Structures are given as structure tokens and as C-alpha cells.
Amino acid sequence: MAEVQSAQIHGGETLLFLTDEQLRQGIEAMFFAYRGFTADPDLILQEMSYGRAHHRAIHFIHCAPGTTVNNLLAILGVTKQSLNRVLRTLIEDGLVESRVGRMDKRERHLFLTETGQGLEQRLSDAQRSRMRAAYRQAGPDAVAGFRRVLEAMMDSEMRRQYKSLREGRG
């Protein structure tokens, strides 16, 4: 399954014979996999009447503590009004803390509170556990390939954001 026909041609360049059908299967795989990918956190979020928007905000605040609202806006690719609605409820519910910037007092720096970190942990545990199972089932070579294809699928702008997030950590 998931065979890919390929051929070596002159100069080490590899040419893929990608039929429309093979590409279509990839598209469908992406559709179904993304549903699985979000299914587990969705269950937890539903308990506390949050949505995926809250999850995304929590995720990226966790990864980049102290990030500004503008920064988060750019990463999430939504309008400030959209983000604000979500952020307001998270702050009201005591999951996120917003601190006025020291250098630039117009900016608000966002942090997860302990409660917020608790929810983040629950959500990402659920998501990671599916991810881990999939990785384990597919094997290390498959995982490397998976990552390569995903990176190639991003827009250059997204790829820039994605990589800068990775560099900010280990």
C-alpha cells in the first residue's frame, strides 16, 4: 500500500510518476488524517465548551510564552477580532495571563497560568498520544518522509514561521 512508482533518470534526478489518482489518494489521506488528528483534543475541548480556536491559541502561547498579540495573530492567520474573542474568554477563565510590556507598554505579553498549562498538558497529551502511536506504527523512515512532505506542502511564509518556532526551542 502507498506504493509510489519512481525512476532514476540522468544525473541522479528522481522523477516521480504521479498519476492524478495517486495524488487524489494523498489528498483523501490528508483529509481523513486531519480529522483523526483533531478528534482527541476536540473531545476534551467540548467538555469545557471551548473550540479548536482556543486550542490553537493555548498551543502557541505555550510554545512561545510571552508572545505578543500581534505575533499570535500572524501565526494563527486570523483577524484580531477573531483572536480577541477567544483570548478574552481564556483570560476571564484564568487560563491565560496578559502582561503589559516593559519595553513597549502598548504590547501585551501572553502567558499560560498554571490552570492554562494544565489544560495544555491534557490537550497535547491526547494529541501526542495518537501521533506517537502513528509514528511507532509507521517507523522512523516513514516519519522522516512524513515531515519532509508536510514541510514541502506549506507556503513559504508558513514554513518561515514554522521553522522560527522550532529554532526558538531545542
- The binding site for a copy of itself (CB under 8 A) comprises 1-6, 14, 16, 18, 20-21, 23-37, 39, 56, 59, 63, 77, 124, 127-128, 130-155, 158-159, 161-162, 165-166, 169-170
Which of the choices DNA, a copy of itself, none does residue 8 contact, using the CB cut-off of 5 to 8 A by kind?
none
Query: 36 vs 51, which CB is nearer to DNA?
Result: 51
Query: 54 vs 62, which CB is nearer to DNA?
Result: 54
Which residues ranging from 49 to 108 are in contact with DNA (CB under 7 A)? 49-54, 56, 68-71, 73, 77-88, 98, 100-101, 103-108
Query: 5 vs 100, which CB is nearer to a copy of itself?
Result: 5
Q: How far is the CB of 138 from DNA (least distance, A)?
A: 28
Q: How far is the CB of 142 from a copy of itself (least distance, A)?
A: 3
Buried b (16+ CB within 10 A) or exposed e, 34-59: eeeeeebbbebbeeeebeebbbbbbb
Q: How far is the CB of 43 from a copy of itself (least distance, A)?
A: 12
Q: How far is the CB of 163 from a copy of itself (least distance, A)?
A: 8
CA angle 111, 75, 48 (to 5 degrees): 55
Is the CB of residue 68 less than 8 Å from the CB of residue 108? yes
Q: How far is the CB of 158 from a copy of itself (least distance, A)?
A: 4
The site for DNA (CB under 7 A) is made up of 49-54, 56, 68-71, 73, 77-88, 98, 100-101, 103-108
